[in-house]
Chain A
Amino acid sequence: MGDLAELQRNAARLATNADARAVAEAGPEGLDRFAAALIQKRLKAVRELLPRSFALFGGELDQRFRDWAAARPSRSPHRHRRDAVRFAQTLHHDLAHYEAAGVEAWLGGVPKLELFRLRVDRPGADLERGATLILWLRLPRGRLRRVRLWPLT
């Protein structure tokens, strides 16, 4: 068991950690491609979970995510949602926090009340200033609902 266990430990570490790959003398051929595919899969999932943030920040966010994810293995269950929440925290922007709050609410942190300084509830990436108060809660049968408490209209 020793050889296989060691091979798997090394492969897991190298596949999920760019720094470890950089200092490794040699890894299995194709490992870089495997690692890149892994990051790309995570990026695609997070892009779908934070679509307006990615639209707002433009293409630069793809590379920021790749850099961020390269040294941070994902964690199950719901690894992509957890990635989205953790990555959004690094963006320090109301829109990202708003999108991540919806994901967090799905993960179970409801009821959830959040105040934003921008009109984050309006579709699209163009944002106006203006307080927005949003409540996430669950209805009977477990359905997640988002309610805007402010502004009223």
Chain B
Amino acid sequence: MMDGLPALGVGLGFRPPLKAAIFRRRDQIDFLEITLDHYLEAPPEKMHELDLLIEHFPLVAHGLDLSLGSAEGLDQRYLDQIAALIEKMDPPWWSEHVAFTRAGGVEIGHLAPLPFTEEALDALCRNIETAQRTIPRPLIVENITYPLALGAAEMSEAAFLAKLGERSGCGLLLDATNLFINSERWGYDPAEFLATIPCEGVVQLHFVGAERSGDGWADSHRRPVNEEVWQVLERVLASCPAKGAILERDADFPQFDDLLGELQRAREIGGRYGRWET
């Protein structure tokens, strides 16, 4: 299902405060990632915004709240809602997270980590199968940061993702920033992680600056890309035939030229490894 996907290049996660600049400088943005949840039950002007984006940019779709890792299964109403949006956007692929966001009738409002166990793999694979029946186009799943471990792990995160790809046929959305933060927090080398996951299954990347927080790092999505993350991004692009990379800046926006500079730097790194045109 991941064969023949187009190389999109380097783009931005669409955020409304950037809208005017994104349209003004659209020749320097290869594609946009749209957060599906922002358009669920949205008012007409928001849907008009989506129509404009569809008209002017290649898009990929990114979901936040499907809760693919829920042992209780998926919320079919939510799944139908995002299916309609994805149909409207017609992206080459769509993405969600290796996480759960609801359980026992409680919405957490945040991505919560799964235990790296066979039981969690079973739940994920069941839910992915359900999602793929409703949305028959390539699904890629993203690694999250996890400040806590729920339950006892039976394998490493990388081994868990490798098994997931093997069993479900899903591609990976590899978040380079999350990989950096997790490697620092849990004390492993990103190179070991990359040696364990099936790199050929990496379809898309995320990157943004990691922020110092206490004695560790946080994925606040509001910092310029730091050198440590650039290094991880380069390692990933050297190993994995990714089709696109998205800068995920959510807040404390700098001058738009600074964001374009980060896109260009990522474009050049990927270009060196023949991942896309520069």
Contact = CB atoms under 8 A, between A and B. Distances in A.
Interface of A: 1, 3-5, 7-9, 11-13, 15-16, 28-31, 33-34, 37-38, 41-42, 44, 73-79, 106-108, 138, 141-144
Please classify the interface of chain A as helix (H, G, I), strand (E, B), loop, or mixed, using the class held by over half of its residues.
Answer: helix
A108 B46 CA distance: 11
Contacts of A5: 71-72, 103
26 contacts: A1-B119, A4-B115, A7-B115, A8-B70, A8-B72, A15-B110, A16-B106, A28-B151, A29-B149, A33-B147, A33-B148, A37-B147, A37-B218, A38-B108, A73-B109, A74-B109, A76-B109, A77-B40, A77-B42, A77-B65, A108-B41, A138-B44, A141-B45, A142-B43, A142-B46, A142-B47
Given A41-B110, A142-B47, A3 B119 contact: yes
B148 A4 contact: no
Contacts, number: 120
Contact of A107 (B43, B108, B251): B43
B103 A11 contact: yes
Contact of B104 (A12, A38, A76, A143): A12
Interface in B37-59: 37, 40-48
Given A30-B149, A107-B43, A143-B45, A4 B120 contact: yes
A12 B103 contact: yes
Contact of A34 (B69, B71, B148, B151): B148
Given A12-B108, A77-B41, A141-B44, A31 B148 contact: yes
B71 A1 contact: yes
Contact of B107 (A8, A75, A108): A75
A28 B148 contact: yes
Residue among B45, B109, B218 with max Cβ neighbours from chain A (10 Å): B109
Interface of B: 37, 40-48, 65, 69-72, 78, 100, 102-104, 106-110, 112, 115, 117, 119-120, 122-123, 147-151, 218, 251
B44 A142 contact: yes
A53 to B, nearest CB: 19
B110 A29 contact: no
Residue among B40, B107, B149 with max Cβ neighbours from chain A (10 Å): B107
B107 A142 contact: no
B117 A30 contact: no
Contacts of B46: 142
Contacts of B45: 138, 141-144
A5 B70 CA distance: 7
A76 B41 CA distance: 10
Contacts of A74: 107, 109
Given A3-B119, A8-B71, A37 B40 contact: no
A77 B46 CA distance: 14
A34 B112 contact: yes
A34 B109 CA distance: 11
Contact of B65 (A1, A12, A76, A108): A76
B112 A12 contact: yes
Given A31-B148, A138-B44, A13 B115 contact: no
Nearest to A7: B151
B242 to A, nearest CB: 28
B151 A30 contact: no
